[in-house]
Amino acid sequence: MFTMYNNNSSHKQAGFTLLELVAAMIIIAVIATLGFKNATKYSDQAYRIKAQDTLKTVSGGLDFYYLKYGAYPNLASFKSMVDANSPLVNDNIIPVNVPDKDPWGAPYEGVSSTETYSLKCLGSPKDKRAIIIEPGKILDNLNASKSSNSSNNGLEK
């Protein structure tokens, strides 16, 4: 005889519904957004620490030069301090590859005379907190002054 099959039989298909997939995508998007905000925050902190490290390298070189020769070198810009022909580089006081631009791409600022020097990084374009280093002190966080021999060495917490 002839047998008919019912197309409306209760065969359950494996898989996810469109609503379940959309809900999962929304949850993943929210988690990714929160993670990206935290990653950006920590990358700005890392940039700031890198800028402080670069300024301290040059500052230490200038201080060593002063101890060796009794005066700071006359240099008109930060770029001239880290240039391959700089007295700091020629005397092997600072490494050859010290960058002349901060991690955000702006040039470091600096000047030195025989009696003093000043080094400056404008900081992140977002918060505009400059880092300024002069002999014996580090100025950070707008107007907060810290001694160069303080326990945190001028780094933020």
User: Residues 121-145: what's their mean pLDDT?
Assistant: 76
Instruction: Indicate the average pLDDT of the chain.
Output: 82
Side-chain half-sphere CA neighbours of 150 within 13 A = 15
- Torsion, Cα 78 90 95 60, to 10 degrees, reads -60
The band of 4, judged by pLDDT with boundaries at 50, 70 and 90, is: low
Q: Where are the domains of the chain?
A: 20-147
The structure tokens listed for 48 are 């700031």
Residue 28 and residue 80: Cα distance in Å, rounded? 49
pLDDT tens digits for range 37-62: 777 777 888 999 999 999 999 999 99
Q: What is the DSSP string of 81-129?
A: HHSTTSHHHHTTSS-TT--SB-TTSPBPEEEE-SS-EEEEE---TTT--
> CATH for 20-147, among 3.30.700, 3.10.290, 1.10.286, 3.60.21?
3.30.700
